[in-house]
Copies of this chain bind each other. A is one copy, B any other.
Amino acid sequence: MTERMEQLHLEDLAIGQRFTSGTYVMEAARIKEFAAEFDPQPFHIDESAAEASVFKGLAASGWHTAAVAMRLLATGGLPLANGIVGVGGEIAWPRPTRPGDILHLETEIVEITPSRSKPNRGIVTVRATMFNQDGDVVFVLTPKLLVPKRPKC
């Protein structure tokens, strides 16, 4: 990957452009720890309770899955100049993630809107789709990101 690829500015992006992230393995211990801190519900912490729940087995907090998606974007999945700064967007969790899942993201540029008030940047909407090792979609994130133009020399 070239330095240029690692630092994409607004001018470098085009609708339909796609990026693929690395992978991340979900681990039972981390699922339980994350949930104990941020989403202390039995189906994210205890296997027996999870079996009896709507999840029918231990499932990561959706916010743990979301945080892993962010890690995959920030570590090569979306090589934007000045980093990945979102103002908001949409999220969906079609299926839970589970211990042993191997996750990756495929991300596509879906909209590019240059800012009217701030000519040195724009808002870029991307759709990041997270798959597990079976090809199931487990998370879809459609954030609006602030992306700078290349600095004028």
Per-residue interface assignment for chain A, residues 30 to 48, with 1 indicating a CB less than 8 Å from any chain B CB and 0 otherwise? 0000100111111100000
Q: Which residue of chain B lies nearest to A86 when distances are taken between CB atoms in the complex?
A: B62
Establish whether residues A67 and B71, one from each chain, have CB atoms under 8 Å apart when the complex forms: no
Whether the pair A92, B83 counts as a contact (CB closer than 8 A) is: no
Cα separation A140 to B87 with both chains bound (whole Å):
11
B interface footprint on A85-108 (CB within 8 Å = 1, 0 otherwise): 111111111100000000000000
Contact A92 B82, CB 8 Å, known A70-B38, A71-B38: no
What is the oligomeric copy number? 2
Query: Given A63-B67, A74-B40, A146-B54 in contact, is the A92-B88 Cβ separation under 8 Å?
Result: yes
Interface size on A, residues (CB 8 A): 36
Q: Considering the chains assembled together, what is the distance between the CA atoms of A87 and B54 in angstroms?
A: 12
Contacts of A34 in B (CB 8 A): 67
Shortest CB–CB separation between residue A96 and chain B, in angstroms? 10
Chain A 20-37, CB within 8 Å of chain B: the 1/0 string? 000000000000001001
A-B contact pairs, 24 of them (CB 8 A): A34-B67, A37-B67, A37-B71, A38-B70, A39-B70, A39-B74, A41-B74, A41-B83, A42-B83, A43-B83, A53-B83, A54-B85, A61-B67, A63-B66, A63-B67, A67-B67, A87-B92, A87-B93, A87-B94, A88-B92, A88-B93, A88-B140, A89-B91, A90-B91
Give the B-binding residues of A (Cβ under 8 A). 34, 37-43, 53-54, 61-64, 66-68, 70-71, 74-75, 82-94, 140, 146
